[in-house]
Structures are given as structure tokens and as C-alpha cells.
Structure 1
């Protein structure tokens, strides 16, 4: 288990969705993408319930770890490409490294050091919504296996080499300028006695639960859909509706 210090910082983000609404909203306002600074992200969160994509969330989490006196650094994969993904490694007082991935909406950080006594390669429950996970560490790469209730196994791979600050800033700025429909929103939601994964992708809403996938076709109007998203994530309905319409327009161009 992560130290209480790491968990205390991590839990500040329990209700932050991962979303690409902010990306197009900022892009449309300034006619160009840009990586928001911490002050702007805080303001947008307070006023509109926005959070951001994986770069936004990693930057904000790193800042909170720094303020709380916890060593942390960014990692990821394909950070200069369309499918870029970034996360954070937090290091506890004994040197243990923990993967902290708000972009993928993990429930809790996970130990990645196989030499540690408390490390486990077993399938673990309760650390990721609606899946048991296995950690497969390598010298420079980390592989995460997700075992779904239907028996399907998917994976995510990270390069665990710390990303240099300038490279990270450049990749973040580039990411904010890549606007690819459809919009994507993910968050952790309560479902019965578990934490499930709620996702809006390809204009469909899906709950991933230990009982399996629950899909809902989005037949609502944009206004009704924005209502659902606001209720689920806390994001401002007006902004959500405007951005959804912008994404739909881009799909047709």
C-alpha cells in the first residue's frame, strides 16, 4: 500500500474526471491549443468543474506532490504522438515507487518495485475500476495487465524513465493542439458496493463494473446529454454542450 502521505495527496483528485472537453474549450477560446498553468486549471476547476486530459492531471498532481514534500516525476509512453499518455511516479520515504495514473482513473497508486517485500505479481482487486490488475516491471518499462470480468485481458505499457521537464512541457503543449473527435470523458463512480468506471466515448456512455459492461446509447439531444455529463462529473452544462457541438462539427468537416 502507498504511504498515507502519498494517499493524502492522491485523494485530493478523487472526483476529478479525465476529459478532453477542456482541451477544445481552451483551443476554441484562443484559436490555438495551449497547456494551462496550475493557476488557470484551479480557476477552471472552481468555476466550471473542469479538470483536463492526462497532461493536465499529471502536471497538477506533480504540483500537489511537490507542495506536500513528496518526490515525484512524470512518465509515459509515445508522448510526442497522437496516442500520448502520461502519468506520475511518486516515491515514498523508503524509496518505494508508486504509479499514479489519474488519466486512466486508477482508484489508488500501485507499487512497481519487484524487489520490495510488499510487491505482488498477483491479480489485485480494488486498485482499478472493474478489473483485477497485474504489475509486470521491467528495467525501463512497466507493463500493466487488466483482467476484466469477461476474461478479456488488456494492457498498458509505460516507459518508467523520468521525462525531462522541457520535454514534458513541449509534449504537453503539442497534446493540447491535437484535437481529435470524438470527445472523451472518464471518471470513477460509485456502483452498488464498488468503484466503477464511467466513460463517455464515441458518443456512447459505458459503465465498466465487476458485473460486466453496461452500455447506453446516447439518443439524447445535446442538451440532455450535457445534463447527464454535468450530473455525473460536475462539469458546467453550458461548456459541455458547447464543446460537444464543436466536436460534432469537427467530425463532419
Structure 2
């Protein structure tokens, strides 16, 4: 089931927003303490430098956008306070249906995970993730959702996600913790092309594109200057911001 138009209008405001860990490295050089930025600061940075942030930034920003439009929504996640932390957003329609909204993993659109408080298992459907179909199932408590990713070659992987609401206090504490973890550079960006949405990714000095036809690896570059240029051209992130962040990650990796 497709999300209602009111919800999709908010979601699609973030179509050009990559998920990236460059911002927190760059921000740590600009601010004495670094840490989680407020929504007004994130908006200012997007305007000035084309940067967006990691999954916490995007979830907090999306929550604010939903609440501004009077759409009930809350944060969900797993492994908060650890290096494996991830957060997303659940938004409700007028009938109480819950839609899972994951900008951090660059989903194409929100997906229904609870219909009228009933258990259900959907058939695998296209249009929600790049390069495959997704099947949704929830359990009897309605507090967990299972995602099965079905690839064109028949391979399938699964993920379980806790739908228990995270308080804003806990969300901000976990977000601030995450912003101080400078592990490795990552940029994920969905690109809207004729006939499909592709997923471009830069991960620790390699880059590739996921398409419905499969994975295409890009030519590996030799310098941070070259990588910053590629990242900037594809994602819209300011070249100098990307370069400063990459240089910092390189320094940390050499320690």
C-alpha cells in the first residue's frame, strides 16, 4: 500500500538529501564540541554547503517536518549508543496505519508496516528499495517488523526492526553519541533516473552504483581531492567540506 499524499509530500522534500558521515567529521573541525546539530542549523548547513548528515540527522529532520505538517510520527531504531546504531521514523496516516520511513538507508519511499493493528505479510513488492523487491511481515505484538530483501538473482536477506517509539530525550542522547564517533567516511545517495531510482554509494574510498540490473563498481581514485570532486558532483556536497572530512578520516585511519 502506497503512503498517503500528505505523507509523501513531506517525504519527497528529502529526495536530494544523501545520508553521509562527512558532515560530522567536518562539523567537529568547525565546532569546539561537535555533536548533534539542531534542525535550524542543519537547514542552514544544507543551504550553504549542500550537506545533510547521518541517519540521526535525517530522522530528526524528518520528524520535525512531519510534526510541522501535523502528521503523527516518532523515531524507532536499534543498538542505540553503539557503533551499530541506526534510526528511522514511523509516520501514521489518518486511519492509524504505520509507515516505516528510512532516509538513513535511502529507501525510495515509506512502506506500510501495520494496517489497522493487524498482523500481515505482504507479497514482495518493487519500488521501495533499489535493485530488488521487499516483503514486509510483522509479529503478533506489532512491535517488530521483518523485512525480506529479494534480489533479481534470487538471493534474499532479512532484517528485523524494533518499532517501539524512542523518546526525544533518548533520541537526542543517542544522536549526540553517534556524532562523536568518527569511524569511516560514507555517502549514500539515491538518484532519480529515467525508469528507475539508482543508489550511489561511497564507502571507505570505493564507490559503486546499485541498479535494478545489478551492481556497477566505479573506477577507484587515488587522492582525496579526486574523491571529493566525485562526491561533490554526484551528491551536491560542497567540495571543500568533503575534502576536509576525507582528510580528517584519513588522518584517523593512519593513527
TM-score by length of 1: 0.94
In the TM superposition, residue 231 of structure 1 has moved relative to its aligned partner by: 1.0
Contact 1:114–1:120 (CA<8 Å) still a contact in 2?
no
The alignment partner of 2:188 has SS state of strand
- CA–CA distance in structure 1, aligned partners of residues 137 and 205 of structure 2: 33
- CA–CA distance in structure 1, aligned partners of residues 157 and 114 of structure 2: 21
Q: Which runs of 5+ in 1 are unaligned?
A: none
- Please name the residue that 1:229 is paired with: 231
- CA–CA distance in structure 2, aligned partners of residues 151 and 166 of structure 1: 42
Contact 1:88–1:101 (CA<8 Å) still a contact in 2?
yes
Pair 1:157-2:160 in alignment: yes
Pair 1:179-2:182 in alignment: yes
- Please name the residue that 2:113 is paired with: 112
The alignment partner of 1:122 has SS state of coil
In the TM superposition, residue 248 of structure 1 has moved relative to its aligned partner by: 1.1
Q: Which runs of 5+ in 2 are unaligned?
A: none
- CA–CA distance in structure 1, aligned partners of residues 52 and 159 of structure 2: 23
Contact 2:96–2:115 (CA<8 Å) still a contact in 1?
no
- CA–CA distance in structure 1, aligned partners of residues 106 and 162 of structure 2: 19
**RMSD between aligned residues:** 1.6
- Please name the residue that 2:41 is paired with: 40
- CA–CA distance in structure 1, aligned partners of residues 234 and 117 of structure 2: 38
- CA–CA distance in structure 2, aligned partners of residues 173 and 219 of structure 1: 32
Q: Residues 24-70 of structure 1, C-alpha deviation per residue, up to 9 Å, x if partnerless?
A: 11122224331000110000000000000000000000000000110
Contact 2:97–2:116 (CA<8 Å) still a contact in 1?
no
Contact 2:97–2:115 (CA<8 Å) still a contact in 1?
no
Contact 1:74–1:163 (CA<8 Å) still a contact in 2?
yes
In the TM superposition, residue 147 of structure 1 has moved relative to its aligned partner by: 1.4
- Please name the residue that 1:23 is paired with: 24
- CA–CA distance in structure 2, aligned partners of residues 2 and 45 of structure 1: 26
Contact 1:77–1:157 (CA<8 Å) still a contact in 2?
no
- CA–CA distance in structure 1, aligned partners of residues 202 and 79 of structure 2: 23
Aligned length: 251
Contact 2:210–2:216 (CA<8 Å) still a contact in 1?
yes
In the TM superposition, residue 220 of structure 1 has moved relative to its aligned partner by: 3.9
